[in-house]
């Protein structure tokens, strides 16, 4: 058997394995529908061409007013949300929002592939043919020209280029002092206190199996996982996709199947358009949430390995360092290589 034949056989076997994996995820998602209880279904208001946003939340009343407002201004027309048994008023707040459809579950977040099964089921039912954002409540999407060009302008340009998805990096933001000092109220802009970020300190590689990027680093890499950077959280995501009911995310939105959708980067030496998810995780509430999540063990496949991560957060650290940079406009972020216009002018 020649080397070329072996290569072709390996590629065929890998493709078969990924197809099987995607179908398994879709089947799991279909079965997970039984765990979801309708709280308020306004999906009949969705119109052709509407940009949709999907997410799972738990106790996010502090962030949700600004999150919804930010993405409404970008052009999201409907939010389809799973509430994983919040206790802080999140459910009542979301029920009152006219552009939100809400489902509730008490089922295990971890056993639902960290909420992906629930979200994928909703996407199978409601997202086919729509440009779709899949986000967490602590993520704010920005992209080149985001303040002057709404999402329909971006997705229209992506379609003209024959692109089905846009990739982003998650940019961890943090306050000037300890985490406990970054106080805000419901509806406040978290960027008013989370003003700093790491301009460098990122490692990038391509995962051979699915062709997705793998980015690690930033403040969590240098502070929480300095002794073992391979365990640092993954920062690459593919949140914006023109959805098809046969698609399925694999690990959060870090990778997606079919694998062609992971090619959100240029392979010819140029650049492809990309955005950023401004990550507002490091508000004071993270200290109490870390105590809770360390006990619940719902956020990592092997939660015990991350006990030291939670312990460091609970200690109320200062994330800013001499190399930190204050958050400015998107052009500065592009100049740092953290996002790109690609060919969009």
User: How far, in Å, are 168, 190, 215, 269 from residue 263 at the CA level?
Assistant: 12, 31, 14, 14
Alpha-carbon span 157 to 256, nearest angstrom? 22
**Residues 6+ away with beta carbon under 8 Å from 278:** 139, 140, 141, 142, 171, 173, 191, 327
- CB environment 53-64: b (16+ within 10 A), e (fewer): bbbbbbbbbbbb
3-class SS at 197?
A: strand
Please give the pLDDT value at position 293: 67
Measured from the Cβ of residue 103, the count of other Cβ atoms closer than 10 Å reads 22
- Mean pLDDT of all residues in 160-189: 95
**Angle in degrees, 0-180, between the axes of helices 116-126 and 3-32, rounded to the nearest 10:** 90
pLDDT, tens digit, 9 for 90 and up, residues 65-80: 999 999 999 999 999 9
Q: Which of 9-18, 57-66, 81-90, 255-264 has the lowest mean pLDDT?
A: 9-18
**Angle in degrees, 0-180, between the axes of helices 307-314 and 285-296, rounded to the nearest 10:** 150
pLDDT, tens digit, 9 for 90 and up, residues 167-181: 999 999 999 999 999
pLDDT, tens digit, 9 for 90 and up, residues 202-252: 999 999 889 999 999 999 999 988 888 888 999 999 999 999 999 999 989
């Amino acid at each position: 058997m020649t080397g070329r034949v072996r290569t072709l056989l390996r590629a065929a076997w890998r493709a078969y394995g990924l197809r099987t994996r995607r179908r398994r995820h879709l089947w799991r998602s279909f079965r997970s529908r039984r765990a979801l209880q309708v709280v308020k279904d306004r999906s009949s208001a969705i119109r052709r061409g509407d940009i949709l946003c999907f997410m799972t939340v738990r106790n996010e009343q502090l962030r949700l007013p600004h999150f919804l407002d930010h993405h409404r201004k970008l052009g999201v027309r409907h939010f389809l949300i799973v509430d994983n048994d919040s206790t802080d008023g999140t459910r009542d707040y979301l029920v009152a929002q006219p552009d939100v459809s809400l489902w509730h579950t008490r089922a295990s977040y971890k056993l639902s592939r960290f909420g992906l099964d629930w979200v994928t089921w909703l996407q199978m039912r409601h997202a086919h043919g729509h440009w779709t954002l899949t986000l967490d409540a602590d993520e704010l999407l920005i992209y080149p020209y985001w303040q002057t060009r709404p999402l329909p302008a971006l997705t229209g340009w992506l379609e003209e280029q024959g692109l089905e998805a846009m990739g982003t990096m998650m940019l961890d933001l943090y306050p000037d002092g300890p985490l406990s000092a970054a106080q805000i109220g419901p509806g406040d802009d978290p960027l008013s206190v989370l003003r700093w970020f790491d301009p460098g300190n990122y490692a990038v590689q391509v995962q051979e199996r699915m062709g997705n990027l793998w980015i690690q680093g930033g403040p969590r890499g240098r502070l929480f996982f300095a002794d073992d950077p391979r365990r640092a959280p993954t920062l690459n995501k593919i949140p914006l996709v023109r959805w098809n009911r046969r698609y399925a995310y694999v690990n959060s939105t870090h990778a997606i199947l079919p694998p062609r959708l992971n090619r959100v980067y240029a392979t010819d030496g140029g650049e492809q358009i990309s955005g950023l998810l401004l990550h507002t995780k490091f508000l004071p509430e993270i200290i109490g949430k870390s105590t809770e999540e360390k006990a619940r063990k719902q956020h990592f496949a092997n939660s015990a390995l991350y006990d030291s991560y939670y312990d460091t957060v609970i200690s109320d650290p200062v994330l800013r360092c001499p190399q930190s940079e204050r958050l400015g406009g998107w052009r500065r972020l592009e100049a740092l290589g953290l996002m790109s216009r690609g060919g969009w002018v």
